[in-house]
Amino acid sequence: MHRLQGSPMFLRQGWRLTLVAPLAALAPSLVHAQEPLEAGPAAATAIPTTSLWQILIAGGPLVIPIIVCSFVLLLVVFERTMALRRSRVIPKLFVERFLLQISEGAVDRHGALELCEENNSLVADVFAAALRKWGKPAVEVEQAILDEGERAANSMRRYLRAMNGVSTVCPLFGLLGTVWGMIEAFNEIAGSSAMGRPELLAGGIGTALMS
């Protein structure tokens, strides 16, 4: 027994136990002490977020007409996109076949009018106007084509005034909102000790920037 205690192997194991025991006792305290240090920077770097609804509310009452005008403009653009497709204005296949059949004499006046009515496109209406003057002088045929072409152009320009109105009114609403926000900011400066306190001016500046 005395030989075992005095052996080098036993001494090395004893030194290891002597060093490991205090470290094992200090490990929980070190872990708990490190947790606040790790959580501290994460909490300090947390960025507050703002929802879209809060941003719109911060823009003031003039955001409402701007949103309405934008919605109307989107509806008009969508309707014009669907109405002015190539198949609704100048279908290529119909024009090629129609002109080929007319040049070859494959259809008469009534047959050509039926083809135009079945196609129901703007160019078909122009062809139908020319066919109704079949056998008339060239001046009358040309005038009929010009008149129907003008009507087709007017139908293509439909809702153009609405688009012009929205594009004119929206910037004015935005300018009015900017003036509104700056008035609120200056009222805060005049009505309280807002100098050096930017939080009192944030509302008016936010309204000016949003609108």
Following CA atoms 45, 51, 56, 59 in sequence, which dihedral angle do they give, to the nearest 10 degrees? -10
- The pTM of the full predicted model, rounded to 2 decimals, is 0.58
Alpha-helical segments (H) within 105-159: 109-119, 122-131, 138-156
Question: What pLDDT band is residue 33 in, cutting at 50, 70 and 90?
Answer: very low
Residue-wise pLDDT for 131-157, tens only, equals: 888 888 889 889 999 999 999 999 888
d(CA 119, CA 117): 6
Render pLDDT for 80-128 as a digit per residue (tens, 0 to 9): 998 888 888 889 888 888 888 888 888 888 888 888 888 888 999 999 9
Task: Tell me which residue of 184, 191, 173 sits closest to 207, measured CA to CA.
Answer: 184
Two structure tokens written together for 131:
């066919």
Query: For residue range 52-86, what is the model confidence (pLDDT) as tens digits?
Result: 677 677 667 788 888 899 899 999 999 999 888 88
CB 95 within 8 A of CB 119: no
